Amino acid sequence: MQATVPAMRFLLFIAGMGGLLYGIDVGIIAGALPYLESTASVAWKLSAQQLSFIVAAVLLGSVLSSLFAGALADWIGRRWAMVLAGVLFTLSIPLIALADGYVPLLLGRLLQGISGGLIGVVVPLYLAESLHADQRGRGAALFQLLLTIGLVAAALIGLFQAQSVETATAAAQGLAEMERAAAVFAAKDHAWRSIFWMCLTPGIVFTVGSMLLPESPRWLARRGDIEQARTALLRTRPADEAEAELHDIQQASAPAAGAVERSGSGSGSGSRSSASAGAAEPLLSRRYVLPFLLACLVLALTQATGINSILAYVVNILNQAGLPGATANMADVALKVLNAVMTVVAVILVDRKGRKFLLMLGTSGIVIALLTSGLLFRSVEGEQRDVAAVLQARVQADGLDLRLNADTLKSLGASADGAPQQLTIAYSYGPFANVQTRRSDDAALPPLRMTRADTVQADSVIGVFFRRLHLNPFADPAEGATAPLRITQAHLAAVPSTTHGWQVALAMCLFVASFAVGPGVCVWLALSELMPTRIRSNGMSIALLINQFVSTVIAAVFLPTVGQYGYATMFFYGAGCTLLYFLTAAFLLPETKGKTLEEIETHFAR
């Protein structure tokens, strides 16, 4: 019995490292984004939509890899799929950190997302198939715990770089305006690149560690490798438990292999035929459709809470709420630490209280947190001054160039008390739109420039192809070539108070704590436990594909939406989706605590 303990701990550690990489995938952009936005939008002329795409690229990559993750895991095995995910993550770091333009940065983030999508399918799948029923909840919770630690690590890296930027900014105060702006720009550019470089080591550890893991016993048994499956089970279980579980695994395949029993095949060939028979059954056959659709619904609603976008944009959110610079980064660290602590609580409770109870508790807390955040932002967004007409009158030669200095603020009618102001402008050249935000207390005081060249994107081969079919969903550059600059919205308001910022931060704390104790852990269990064995890998791929698609859409529209309609709109939307999540947990989900995968499958079969 004791010989199995080190092997089990190593298995859990490496699988947990997968969660760490997944957390870094999601969280690293939060600390890097403010500096990327300050530098890349100036040096590379990135629009708000392109910045949103950079954030969403990780999620889009997850969508793409989710399409084939299950099939890949069935083809090469769970272990080698994990190795591949680690290699892709490791390769993405230099591609991002050395980027000299929009395309390599986007491709690097996309590669990170492909890695994350593989991890999100394969690691929970590997844990579900390799752990004993009494340890499965704790194993999935450990994956989520290391995911939250990845978020903490990303936030700490962001905080460290934020402090270095503030130090450089303070040192540049005695310089002339242009020299000061150049020094601050260089510090911010170095900061976001360093944030990504510091994530290289965990990718290497996960890649090497995955090579040393045993293969999933259920995958081996489905391929007919019964002796190897037995060996894999014996590495983490006593002999009697390993034999009993191997018997259950073989028995679970027996009903679909009636023809095999009648043919009198031996156990090895019978297992192969059983796997083939199971694989031949369609994903949406009657016995599978309910658990499959239920898992898809849970995965979609988990992302509809807005968790990934809020974690990615949390520093921006807190800045907009009133917390300055490094203070927002410190609050981000506190949120990520709270996330990890509450995940530990979930680890303790998940196999005691059950999945259903934790989901209901967590989703109810999320609804309260999002409604509170929405109301807080609505209170300050309602005080904005509409300055669109004033700015439209200043447009010259189809462009606008200004700095949010004292003279500009005076011309826009800002109060004379010297309080920091924030200007948000939504504008368009025909069908091409963009949103920019500037604060008067930004030390670099970057110029706000609106030009046709920076807004109207060049045509693409894909655009030309679809336009010929009259199906093109993208804007036509020809329409933006002659359209005048139109200021669609422009709002000026005082930067919210620090008190308001901390109120929003407290609401974010409730949001993160509630997510960690409920959906954060239970979503991985729902993904792996509800799916019957014969459709588990492909079913998990499709469910995670839906999950990542929802997350990608929210991240891609986040910045344009808050620029046009405010942060309150996004928070109210998330609250509505989470209310639906609570009802799903309360009335549709069965309790799976303490049941083997085969017992859960029998429940749905009945």
Residues 449-487: tens digit of each pLDDT:
888 877 776 654 444 444 454 444 556 677 778 888 888
Tokens 């005081």 appear where? 445
Instruction: End-to-end CA distance of the chain: give it in Å, rounded.
Output: 36
DSSP secondary structure of 469-536: TT---SPPHHHHHHPPEEEEEEEEEEPPPHHHHHHHHHHHHHHHHHHHHTHHHHHHHHHHHSS-GGGH
In the 3-class helix/strand/coil scheme, how is 421-465 assigned residue by residue? Answer: EEEEEEEEECCEEEEEEEECCCCCCCCEEECHHHHCCCCCHHHHH
Nearest-CA neighbor of 77 among 220, 211, 176? 220
**Contacts by residues 473-482 (CB-CB < 8 Å, ≥ 24 positions apart):** 475/430, 475/431, 475/432, 476/431, 477/432, 479/430, 479/431, 480/429, 480/430, 480/431, 480/432, 480/452, 480/455, 480/456, 481/452, 481/456, 482/430
pLDDT in tens, 68-105: 887 888 888 888 999 999 999 999 999 988 888 788 88
Nearest-CA neighbor of 363 among 576, 84, 201, 216? 576
Nearest-CA neighbor of 214 among 68, 372, 11? 11
Tokens found for residue 278 = 């199971």
Q: Output the CA angle 335-364-562, nearest 5 degrees.
A: 60
What integer pLDDT is reported at residue 490 of this predicted model? 85
- Evaluated on CA atoms 513, 517, 521, 523, the torsion sign reads negative
What is the three-class DSSP state of 399?
strand
Nearest-CA neighbor of 30 among 158, 187, 117? 158
What integer pLDDT is reported at residue 242 of this predicted model? 72
Tokens found for residue 212 = 């040393």
What integer pLDDT is reported at residue 53 of this predicted model? 76
What integer pLDDT is reported at residue 578 of this predicted model? 95
User: In one letter, which amino acid is 1?
Assistant: M
**Contacts by residues 470-477 (CB-CB < 8 Å, ≥ 24 positions apart):** 475/430, 475/431, 475/432, 476/431, 477/432
- Evaluated on CA atoms 161, 162, 167, 173, the torsion sign reads positive
pLDDT lower than 50: segments of the chain? 1-3, 255-280, 460-467, 469-472
Please give the domain boundaries of the chain with CATH numbers for all domains.
Answer: 4-213+286-379+500-605 (1.20.1250.20), 217-277 (no CATH), 385-453+463-495 (no CATH)
What integer pLDDT is reported at residue 504 of this predicted model? 93
